[in-house]
Amino acid sequence: MLQQLGQLPMGLLLIALIAVFGSAAFFLGRVRAERLLVATTSRMHSRPNYHGYYVAMWATVPVVIVAIAYAIFAEDLTRIQLTRELPSSFARLSPVELQSYLESVRMAAGTAASAGADRVFQAITNRYLELRGLINTATLVLLGLMAAVGIFLAQRRLKPDFRARALVENGMELVLFVCAGVAIATTAGIVLSLLYESLQFFQKVSAWDFLTGTRWNAQTEAEFGALPLFFGTFMIALIAMLVAAPIGLFSAIFLSEYASPRARAWIKPILEILAGIPTVVYGFFALLVVAPAIRSAALWFNETAIQLGLASEPILAAQPTSALAAGLVMGIMVIPFVSSLSDDVINAVPQTLRDAAYALGATKSETVKQVVVPAALPGIIAALLLAVSRAIGETMIVVMAAGKSARISMDPTSDLTTITVQIVSLMTGETGFDDPKTLSAFALGLVLFIVTLAFNVVALRVVKKYREKYD
Amino acid sequence: MTDKARKSAPSAASAKHLKRRRAADFRFRYYGLTAIFVALGALAVLVLTIGSQAVSAATYHVVRYEVTLDPAVIAPEGASSPQDISRNVEGFYSLVRDNLLTTFPEVGEDRMLRREISDFVTRLAVLPTARMVAEKPELVGANITLTAPLNDDLDLYLKGQGVRERKLPAGVLSRIETGAEGTYRLSGTDAFAGVMAGLAVANVDRPVDAGQPDVLLSAGVSTGRLTAIDAGSARMELLTGRAEDFAQGRPTARIIASPESERTISDRQIAWVLALKEMGRIDRVPRWTLLTNSDSTYPELAGGLAAIVGSLLTMLITAMVAMPIGILAAVYLEEFAPRNRVTEFIEVNINNLAAVPSIVFGLLGAALYINFLGMPRSAPLVGGLVLALMTFPVVIIASRAALKAVPPSVRSGALAVGASQMQTVFHHVVPLAAPGILTGAILGMARALGETAPLLLIGMVAFVGDVPRSPTDESTVMPVLIFSWANNAERSWEPLTSAMIIILLTFLLVMNGLVVFLRRKYERRW
């Protein structure tokens, strides 16, 4: 019996119960309020619906809290109790082995088909289900009680002059505030998880060695000098910006200063399609078209240089995946980030400035170069900074087209690796969370987070300052 | 006076200066135009290359096999329940293989040739037929036409992509003499002059030798390989069919540039596939399996159903979490929040979160959901939650813009007739802002649908052969499937990957189309 209870689909059940309790409570509260309305001679403060909501609030809030507690603690509680009851032979197991054993127990309990397993395992699985059943029953009983008590207490408070609406609205406002607080919680979650795992990593590898070491061999020999990764990231972002900055800026200038409104209405959305294409598509494009083209161009260059007697051996590495391929494609991807924001700030430059320049006899291009762009410069710089931050954090293009060898090489046709590539390759393996390999991914993530955050903060500051100037 | 003097006599230097300035002005305009064309050109190249690849994967070749469903083979004694039949891949496969062996008697007992002919169909390709027969047991013993997809390399060959070849007509052959061990001497007046010219273009004078291009000659269902050639005659090794076929009409010569050892398909397989085509047993049909099959290690069987369902489940979770939280948070910040430090801090957080690299959210998901909370790896539940954290700042920013656009007069009006703040917001402001909020939410979801990197970190990259049925099942999503397929080395995965990309882009296009539609229909300027 308990074992069957242990297999209840608690997630669905809890959600269903919350819905059932909530609507039942609402109905009860409303009916009671309607009766009050008929019975009373004075006016009710709040409409019956609000009384219903009030009772529903009392019925669901405690239930939700219990359900969340269940979701977090049920599994842990079961495991703690189960570990206590295990035969003494299990004492030899290391904590990690024990956890993976318990995990397999959980899996077996979930499928309920543990045929063929040994008797001890079977017995433990059954005991696990019993414990689980106990906790499930206790939770359900507790839930029912809390909902009943909640409804009862709330019902008793309903009176004609009861300020149900004010209380419900206060409750709603609290819910809204909590939703807004999720933003803080997310940031805190990111910072804490990155810091926690990174600190564990830095206990094994010194932070100084990590930041300044030039040898990266996380997969095998466990050398954690991340400088080649920083270099690769920087190099590819630089190539990307060399593509995106001129194209994006000139596009923005053309769109805002030269293009007819009709052309602008067409070209701007089309350019923004570039930002909407998933990055994995760019990665595939880089892999399929750009990287082979760059490789053959580099090979041709090597051959010609040798034929012309300019070099005795190949100058360029001409590898199948290259920093140049990844950088070029990434550049295409970030064009709209540069062009859209620059376009906005160029448009925000007051027409009076242009008119003044024309009045002095400046040509259109001189006006743009000497008046409009300098006036929009802070905004343009912010756009470029945001684009750089995008390029640094971009993952799929480099994972697919930039290669995996950590080296410091100025040759753009050699394959370089980046922070994001290494995070992906370190995290996709099947390793535990206490392995320095996995932990180093979090240290890299921390660096990435700090760098992109710095770019964003500076960019947002610049934009804010600039806006104050013309509004 | 001075003005007039200046106007009437511009110095040569200043005229030159003016010309230079005008030229610079002209150039500057074209820099801008060039930039636009480069950007649009890049987009066009990207769409066209992927689109053209995808078109080739939209159809594929299937072969028809007339087989008798021999009960002894597909439903032997003791294994004849529908369930057994649906699992009897080996039995159905042997029917197909035997059919090929009778079609091409030259295979005989030769083990090499048997292996080459078994490459035509993969075992799992008969699974749909097995399932169909299991559902209709009355078919056992009947004659049916079994269709199975052709091997991916041969499929590419028939589409003209796998192997580079040049087709040339040969002349009429007047004499066919039989030589030793299946070789024949073919002759006719200048019959091979055209082929010789073709070989000269390819920079070789003889076929035959190892490492040289092959010349295949086919007539009807028969094909042979030329081993020596001059303008009037050639020696041919018959690969399949009968030598007499070559006496009728003008045979077709195929010059295949890459030698057999460098190809994934052999000359004999080409001969067989040409013969099957000539017999009318190969059809090029739309590849619906791309939408109805799940992932497979065989390109001709692989499809995206599991990934599409996985994406939908993931998006469901993301929408259920990110949309309510995002919208309610936006309502709070825009309508209720007092201007204080806490509010400001929340706003700074949201702006920064929107710019945090997506991979960092993947790290957060791995550390928080999987390591700390012990949720299952590779599950749409975790994927959806990770993407929800990533999406909700976008939803907040869009919703706030929509709320801000509702004029204050609406609020004042509602408050003036006695509505509370909460009633004003939820009865009047939010409904008016709803189209804007919805478009923002859809755009955020579209971004999440195309996201790959964070999902790699929570293990959604594993091979998943079954359609997930609940958010806690192991699953993958469309972009991750594209990533896995793009990493496969075989050439035939490229068109498939492109086709999958087009499917993903179609989803995104529909979502963005919906946004445009909503904006057109409901956008109000106050």
- Concatenated DSSP letters for A435-466? SHHHHHHHHHHHHHHHHHHHHHHHHHHHHHHH
- Please check whether residue B103 lies inside any domain of the structure: yes
Rounded alpha-carbon distances, angstroms, from residue A358 to A93, A261, A366, B31, B282: 83, 21, 9, 21, 72
pLDDT at B345 over 80: yes
Q: What is the pLDDT of residues A98-117, one digit of tens each?
A: 777 777 777 777 665 545 56
What gap in Å lies between CA B158 and CA B299, rounded to an integer? 15
- DSSP string across B315-357: HHHHHHHHHHHHHHHHHIIIII--SSHHHHHHHHHHHHHTTS-
Q: Is A378 left (phi over 0), alpha (psi -120 to 50) or beta?
A: alpha
Specify whether B138 is located in the same domain as B209.
no
Mean pLDDT for B292-311 is: 90
Mean pLDDT for A401-405 is: 84
Beta bridge partners of A132: none
pLDDT band at residue B455, thresholds of 50, 70 and 90?
Answer: very high
A190 touches chain B (CB under 8 A): yes
Q: What is the pLDDT of residues B165-198, one digit of tens each?
A: 888 888 888 888 887 777 888 888 788 888 888 7
Mean pLDDT for A241-268 is: 93
Q: Is B78 left (phi over 0), alpha (psi -120 to 50) or beta?
A: left
- Please check whether residue B291 lies inside any domain of the structure: no
pLDDT at B8 over 70: no
Burial B319-340 (b: 16+ CB within 10 A, else e): bebbbebbbbbbbbbbbbbeee
CB contact under 8 A, B357 and A169: no
Closest partner residue to B422 among A172, A193, A270, by Cβ?
A: A172
pLDDT at A151 over 60: yes
Tell me the domain boundaries of chain A. 2-162, 163-204, 209-470
Sort out which chain A residues have CB atoms less than 8 A from B337's CB and list them: 177, 180
- DSSP string across A334-395: HHHHHHHHHHHHHHHS-HHHHHHHHHTT--HHHHIIIIIHHHHHHHHHHHHHHHHHHHHH--
**Most confident segment among B115-124, B234-243, B357-366:** B357-366
Q: What is the pLDDT of residues B199-238, one digit of tens each?
A: 777 666 555 555 567 888 888 888 988 888 888 888 888 8
Rounded alpha-carbon distances, angstroms, from residue B40 to A336, B15, B512, B516: 11, 38, 19, 21
Mean pLDDT for B87-109 is: 88
Q: Give me the pLDDT at residue A110, please.
A: 67
Specify whether B499 is located in the same domain as B393.
yes
Strands (E), A42-200: none
- Which residues contact residue A461 at a Cβ distance below 8 angstroms, ignoring those fewer than 6 apart? none
Which of B150, B178, B202 terminates a domain? The answer is B150
Q: What's the Rg (C-alpha) of chain B?
A: 34
**Are A418 and A216 contacting, i.e. CB atoms less than 8 angstroms apart?**
no
Specify whether B49 is located in the same domain as B85.
no
CB contact under 8 A, A180 and B392: no
Specify whether B128 is located in the same domain as B224.
no
DSSP B62: E
Smallest Cα–Cα separation from A72: which of B18, B195, B372?
A: B372
pLDDT at A96 over 60: yes
DSSP B254: E
- Please check whether residue B68 lies inside any domain of the structure: yes
Mean pLDDT for B372-387 is: 87
**Are B89 and B123 contacting, i.e. CB atoms less than 8 angstroms apart?**
yes
Sort out which chain B residues have CB atoms less than 8 A from A335's CB and list them: 39, 42
Q: What is the pLDDT of residues B405-421, one digit of tens each?
A: 999 999 999 999 999 99
pLDDT band at residue A221, thresholds of 50, 70 and 90?
Answer: low
Nearest 5°: CA angle at A225, between A221 and A228?
110
User: Six-digit token pair at A200?
Assistant: 């564990």
More confident site: A44 or A299: A299
CA distance B485 to chain A (A): 10
Q: What is the pLDDT of residues A1-29, one digit of tens each?
A: 777 777 777 878 888 989 999 999 999 98
- Which residues contact residue B172 at a Cβ distance below 8 angstroms, ignoring those fewer than 6 apart? B188, B189, B191, B249, B250
Rounded alpha-carbon distances, angstroms, from residue B502 to A76, A281, B51, B159: 45, 10, 7, 20
Specify whether B488 is located in the same domain as B346.
yes
pLDDT band at residue B401, thresholds of 50, 70 and 90?
Answer: very high
Q: Give me the pLDDT at residue B1, please.
A: 47
Q: Please name the residue ranges forming H helices in B354-429.
A: 358-365, 380-405, 408-416, 421-424
Specify whether B338 is located in the same domain as B464.
yes
Nearest 5°: CA angle at B138, between B134 and B142?
100
**What is the domain count for chain B?**
4
Helix, strand, coil distribution of chain A in percent, nearest 5: 80, 0, 20
Q: Give me the pLDDT at residue A120, please.
A: 80
Specify whether B230 is located in the same domain as B311.
no
Q: Which of residues 115-144 of A touch B (CB under 8 A)?
A: none
DSSP B149: E
A242 touches chain B (CB under 8 A): no
Smallest Cα–Cα separation from A105: which of B458, A70, A97?
A: A97
What gap in Å lies between CA A356 and CA A456, rounded to an integer? 34
CA distance A424 to chain B (A): 6
pLDDT at A195 over 90: yes
**Are B477 and B310 contacting, i.e. CB atoms less than 8 angstroms apart?**
yes
Q: Which of residues 440-459 of A touch B (CB under 8 A)?
A: 441-442, 445, 448-449, 452-453, 456-457
Specify whether B130 is located in the same domain as B192.
no
Looking at every residue in chain A, the average pLDDT score rounds to 87
Q: Give me the pLDDT at residue A295, please.
A: 92
Q: What is the pLDDT of residues A347-361, one digit of tens each?
A: 888 999 999 999 999
Specify whether B81 is located in the same domain as B135.
yes
pLDDT at B500 over 50: yes
Specify whether B48 is located in the same domain as B68.
no
Q: B108: buried, middle or exposed (CB in 10 Å: 19+, 13-18, 0-12)?
A: exposed
Q: Which of residues 53-92 of A touch B (CB under 8 A)?
A: 72, 75
Class of domain A209-470: mainly alpha
A213 touches chain B (CB under 8 A): no
What gap in Å lies between CA B15 and CA A357, rounded to an integer? 20
3-state SS assignment for residue A268: helix
State the CATH number of the domain containing residue B237.
Answer: 2.40.10
**Are A380 and A340 contacting, i.e. CB atoms less than 8 angstroms apart?**
no
User: Six-digit token pair at B184?
Assistant: 């024949």
Q: Give me the pLDDT at residue A49, please.
A: 87
Sort out which chain A residues have CB atoms less than 8 A from B461's CB and list them: 428
Give the other-Cβ count within 10 Å of B309's Cβ: 21
pLDDT at B516 over 80: yes
pLDDT at B392 over 60: yes
What gap in Å lies between CA A204 and CA A187, rounded to an integer? 26
CB contact under 8 A, A173 and B336: yes
pLDDT at A395 over 90: yes
Specify whether B315 is located in the same domain as B449.
yes
- Please check whether residue B286 lies inside any domain of the structure: no
Nearest CA in chain A to B396: A180
Q: Give me the pLDDT at residue B84, please.
A: 82
What gap in Å lies between CA B282 and CA B255, rounded to an integer? 23
What gap in Å lies between CA A174 and CA A194, rounded to an integer? 29
Q: Is A429 left (phi over 0), alpha (psi -120 to 50) or beta?
A: beta
pLDDT at A201 over 80: yes
Smallest Cα–Cα separation from A406: which of A226, A151, A272?
A: A226
Of chain B, the percentage scoring pLDDT greater than 70 comes to: 96
Specify whether B314 is located in the same domain as B231.
no
Closest partner residue to B349 among A187, A441, A442, by Cβ?
A: A187
Of chain A, the percentage scoring pLDDT greater than 90 comes to: 39
**Are B354 and A460 contacting, i.e. CB atoms less than 8 angstroms apart?**
no
More confident site: B397 or A92: B397
Nearest 5°: CA angle at A264, between A263 and A268?
120
- DSSP string across B33-59: HHHHHHHHHHHHHHHHHHHHHHHHHSE
What gap in Å lies between CA A236 and CA A414, rounded to an integer? 11
Closest partner residue to B349 among A169, A184, A445, by Cβ?
A: A184
CB contact under 8 A, A255 and B36: yes
> Which range among A8-12, A34-38, B327-331 shows the weakest confidence by mean pLDDT?
A8-12
CA distance B433 to chain A (A): 17
Q: Which domain holds residue B48?
A: 28-56
What gap in Å lies between CA A344 and CA A332, rounded to an integer? 20
Mean pLDDT for A41-51 is: 83
Beta bridge partners of B64: B147
3-state SS assignment for residue A8: coil
Give the other-Cβ count within 10 Å of A278's Cβ: 22
3-state SS assignment for residue B459: coil
